[in-house]
């Protein structure tokens, strides 16, 4: 069994999301080796060459196209392989197609790599995270999805624009499904410790309910809007992948809303969805059950029920 190389990442699936993530990871300087794997070997080779040509402007590393054997010692395996969302198609529509792909990919990864972390990005990410945990046999702390890390970034960005402040000073989470039933956890949102509604008033906004609904809807529909205009989304998710890998490799113990299998918080069990969690070198190192209003708790339970129904049908 290969021991892990802490400086190595594997990216499975080199389409829009995989290649943009590989580029972001190359720029991050976190890794010194990266293997790109795709059923379309030419695509993986082309991306490896193209991204390598940026290395003289970044930090030295080895980037190449390979096979699952080459992922045996990767500290993190990022899985983006799957069909993309078509215009008008919901993420849940994709489920059966992508579970089929996972049934071929995940056992191959697990055959060679026994100790790494599986970071699932392909959609529907919550369902596929659950499937990957079961198909790999890995402990649950080492299999998680990008979940609502991207949605949360969109939420912070839009709140930053709304309030005309740096989005990094906004502390707020999108939780639940990465998809149509996701929840903006408005009741716990704050700007540097100041409750969001108080901060809104400081900046001249008084219609909290209206702003909240508008921003939450905008976050939820972001992907549909971008896909409508350019066919796919990839830069935002690439930066999310980079951020999650950074938390893992640097053992940052950062709190990120990744998707992982739940065990009873808010009455939700045996389904993967996003709640803030501590992310470090051991993967998911603990849940952070933030305070929710009764309405948010109900919406979270409804999100879990939606996912459970899909899972029952598809897996």
- Tell me if 301 sits within 8 A of 267, measured CB to CB: yes
Closer of 12 and 191 to ligand NAD (Cβ): 12
- Binding-site entries for NAD(+): 13-18, 38, 43, 68, 82-83, 98, 104, 121-123, 146
* Length of the chain, in residues: 315
Q: Residue 58 or 232: which CB sits closer to ligand NAD?
A: 232
205 is catalytic: no
Nearest residue relative to ligand NAD (C-beta): 15
Q: Could you say which of 162, 178, 205, 263 is catalytic? A: 178
Between 120 and 191, name the residue whose CB sits nearer to ligand NAD: 120
**Which residues pair with residue 126 across a beta bridge?**
none
Between residues 111 and 208, which has the closer beta carbon with respect to ligand NAD?
Answer: 111
Q: What share of the chain is helix, strand, coil (3-state, %, to 5)?
A: 50, 20, 30
Instruction: Tell me how far, at minimum, the Cβ of 281 lies from ligand NAD, in Å.
Output: 22
Please give the annotated binding residues for beta-D-fructose 1,6-bisphosphate, written as ranges: 156, 171
Q: Which is nearer to ligand NAD, 31 or 102 (CB)?
A: 102
Beta strands in 80-195 (DSSP E): 117-120, 143-145, 170-171, 174-175, 183-184, 190-191, 194-195
CA distances from 277 to 67, 90, 114, 146, 297 (A): 32, 26, 23, 12, 17
Q: How far is the CB of 194 from ligand NAD (least distance, A)?
A: 29
| Residue 66 CB, nearest approach to ligand NAD (Å) | 12
Q: Smallest distance, Å, CB 82 to ligand NAD?
A: 4
Nearest approach, Cβ of 166 to ligand NAD (angstroms)? 23
Element (H, E) at 151: helix 149-163
Whether cis (ω within 30° of 0) applies to the bond prior to 194 is no
State how far the Cα of 36 lies from the Cα of 244, in Å rounded to an integer.
Answer: 18
Alpha helices of the chain — where are they, by DSSP H?
Answer: 16-28, 41-52, 95-112, 125-136, 149-163, 196-202, 208-230, 235-249, 294-314
Residues lying near ligand NAD in the complex (CB under 6 A) are found at 12-18, 38-40, 43, 80-82, 84-85, 98, 101, 104-105, 121-123, 125, 146, 150, 178, 232-233, 237
Where is the binding site for substrate, in residues?
A: 85, 91, 123-126, 151-154, 233
Nearest to 33 by CA among 66, 5, 2: 5
What is the set of active-site residues? Answer: 178
């Amino acid at each position: 069994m290969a021991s892990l190389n802490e400086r190595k990442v594997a990216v499975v699936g080199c389409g829009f999301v995989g290649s943009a993530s590989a580029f972001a990871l190359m720029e991050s300087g976190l890794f010194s080796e990266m293997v790109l794997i795709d059923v379309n070997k030419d695509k993986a080779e082309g991306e490896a060459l193209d991204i390598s040509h940026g290395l003289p402007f970044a930090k030295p590393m080895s980037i190449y196209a390979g096979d699952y054997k080459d992922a045996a010692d990767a500290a993190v395996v990022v899985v983006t392989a799957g069909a993309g969302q078509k215009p008008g198609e919901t993420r849940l529509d994709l489920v059966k197609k992508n579970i089929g792909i996972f049934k071929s990919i995940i056992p191959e990864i697990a055959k060679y790599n026994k100790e790494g972390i599986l970071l699932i990005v392909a959609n529907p990410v919550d369902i596929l995270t659950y499937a990957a945990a079961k198909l790999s046999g890995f402990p649950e702390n080492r299999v998680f999805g990008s979940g609502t890390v991207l949605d949360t970034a969109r939420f912070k960005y839009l709140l930053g624009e709304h309030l005309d402040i740096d989005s990094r000073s906004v502390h707020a989470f999108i939780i639940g499904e990465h998809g149509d039933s996701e929840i903006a956890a408005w009741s716990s949102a704050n700007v540097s410790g100041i409750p969001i509604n108080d901060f809104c008033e400081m900046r001249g906004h008084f219609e909290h309910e209206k702003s909240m609904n508008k921003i939450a809807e905008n976050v939820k529909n972001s992907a549909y809007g971008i896909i409508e205009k350019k066919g796919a989304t990839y830069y935002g998710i690439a930066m999310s992948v980079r951020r999650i890998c950074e938390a893992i490799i640097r053992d940052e113990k950062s709190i990120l809303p990744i998707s992982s299998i739940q065990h009873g918080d808010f009455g939700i069990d045996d389904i993967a969805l996003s709640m803030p969690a501590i992310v470090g070198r051991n993967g998911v190192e603990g849940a952070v059950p933030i305070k929710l209003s009764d309405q948010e708790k109900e919406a979270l339970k409804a999100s879990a029920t939606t996912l459970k129904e899909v899972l029952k049908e598809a897996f």
